[in-house]
Chain A
Amino acid sequence: MTEHDATADYEFVDDAIVDVVESKELSRRLKDRIYQTIEEREGVSFEQAGEIAQAVEARYLDTRVDPLDPVGTVSAQSIGEPGTQMTMNTFHYAGVAEIDVTQGLPRLIELVDARKPPDTPMMTVYLEDEYANNRELAHQVVWNIESTKILALGDISTNVADMVVQINLNDETLLERWPTYDDEGVVASEIAETIEDALGIKTRREGTLIEFGPESPSYRRLLQLVEELRDIVFKGIEEVSRVVIRKENNEDTDEEEFVLYTEGSAFGDALAIEGVDASRSTSNNIHEVHKQLGIEAAREAIIDETMNTLREQGLDDVNIRHLMLVADIMTNDGTIESIGRHGISGSKDSVLARAAFEVTVNHLLDAAIHGEEDDLDGVIENVIVGKPIAIGTGDVDLRMGSLDVEDADANAAPEPSDD
């Protein structure tokens, strides 16, 4: 927005008000907001306008970061100091809803390193409408998410004499896990088909009894088939090994609802399942969040996860702005970049800054080979060469002398003396 006449745009703003507002050290956007507010109030007195402008300016200057303030360094310190306390009290897992989740320092490191996949991926799955209140419907969603393997469905026995593997499927379990079918035989035939496809062999089925064996009698092949059989996923998402269902209070509606916690994560697959609330469910894998919901959601997820990690440790007095800065930097180029040798710190412009971080010799050698130059703009490189760093007062040159009275403004500070 370029300079314009505010008195023309706003009915209740006159020249005197414009003068007082324009004299404040505020951005164009904030000045316009003041005019709008005056307009909405349908006019205020000149004194009130002055007070409003004064208050806005005071608040603005108060909350603004000082010029040359090293915000990144301050953030690093502010997260690092509580980090030293974390080392002492945790290096183990603690459960949320009986699911083991990496916490404490290991989790914090994992987040800023943007390691994929995380050590203990998990999802928090919220349910839609009737699925959230009805236990049976909620369980349907559970069976669609939790990977079902053969051991959960029945007993396997290996008959070495006849060279056959026998599976005795449990009728009740079948009907429970495939609620859309009302005949266990149909389910059993589907299971038999899945086995045939996965193992490439023929099966014989009688009711809920499935039997198969190797093409030619071979003891080794028989055991191998049993091994492979155990890994086949008959239903659900392969990555999710366990789902815990919990009744929780929905903060928005203040009603009880079922919430699923999963061990293992496949965010995209889970969101597509019927009954899953795709507007609230989340994963603790920031890369999956990035892939499914985009970079802005990934940024939010990084802030949430880091803050929660700190909070679990009782270190929630870390100001959220530091974590926001970290998340902003990590997502700045549209992808998730780690903080470290392979990410942010490794892509710094300065050779000396990179060399000071990790693998010193490699960086110096590469720089020498490519004839790199160092502008000495940053902190680390100036510490190395022993120059003042360009931060805070280090970037301001002070000169002593006297003001020329004729040029000086009448309101200027008193003339500095030379003594």
Chain B
Amino acid sequence: MVDVSQHKLVPEHTKLDDEAVEDVLQEYNVEKTNLPKIKLKDPALPEDAEPGDVIKIVRNSRTTDKAVVYRLVIE
């Protein structure tokens, strides 16, 4: 099986713990469900991710150095 995370198109995906999720939601003043989504079967997801988890994605941005975005894991 190919290691997806090594591909240059795939940014780093990490699972956030509950406390960090709270901080993120508070910073942006949004609900969890307002976040962009990522499917559970997405090959780039960390293995232990479950629906309801928030994934932190650190992209190599085209307009700045790094761009951090969050996606909510859904079925």
Contact = CB atoms under 8 A, between A and B. Distances in A.
Please determine whether chains A and B interact with each other in the same assembly.
Answer: yes
Q: Is the interface of A mostly helix, strand, loop or mixed?
A: helix
A332 B44 contact: no
B45 interface: yes
B9 A297 contact: yes
Contacts of B71: 295, 334
A376 interface: no
| Most chain A CB inside 10 Å of its own CB: which residue of B9, B23, B42, B44 | B9
A280 B8 contact: yes
Contact of A293 (B4, B26, B57, B74): B4
Interface in B1-54: 2-4, 6-11, 13, 23, 26-27, 36-39, 42-45
Given A28-B27, A321-B63, A294 B45 contact: yes
Interface size class of B (residues with CB under 8 A): 20 to 34
B44 A294 contact: yes
B36 A332 contact: yes
Given A294-B42, A320-B62, A271 B2 contact: yes
A272 B2 contact: yes
A296 B11 contact: yes
Contacts of A296: 9-11, 13, 38, 44, 57, 59
A1 B23 contact: yes
A257 to B, nearest CB: 15
A272 B4 CA distance: 11
A279 B38 contact: no
Contacts of A29: 27
A328 interface: yes
A289 interface: yes
B66 to A, nearest CB: 12
Given A293-B4, A294-B38, A303-B62, 5 more contacts: A294-B42, A295-B71, A296-B38, A328-B36, A333-B36
25 contacts: A1-B23, A1-B27, A2-B26, A29-B27, A278-B7, A279-B6, A279-B8, A291-B43, A292-B2, A292-B43, A294-B38, A294-B42, A295-B44, A297-B4, A297-B44, A300-B11, A303-B62, A320-B63, A324-B62, A332-B36, A332-B37, A333-B37, A334-B36, A334-B39, A334-B71
3 closest A-B pairs by beta carbon, nearest first, are A294-B44, A334-B37, A297-B9
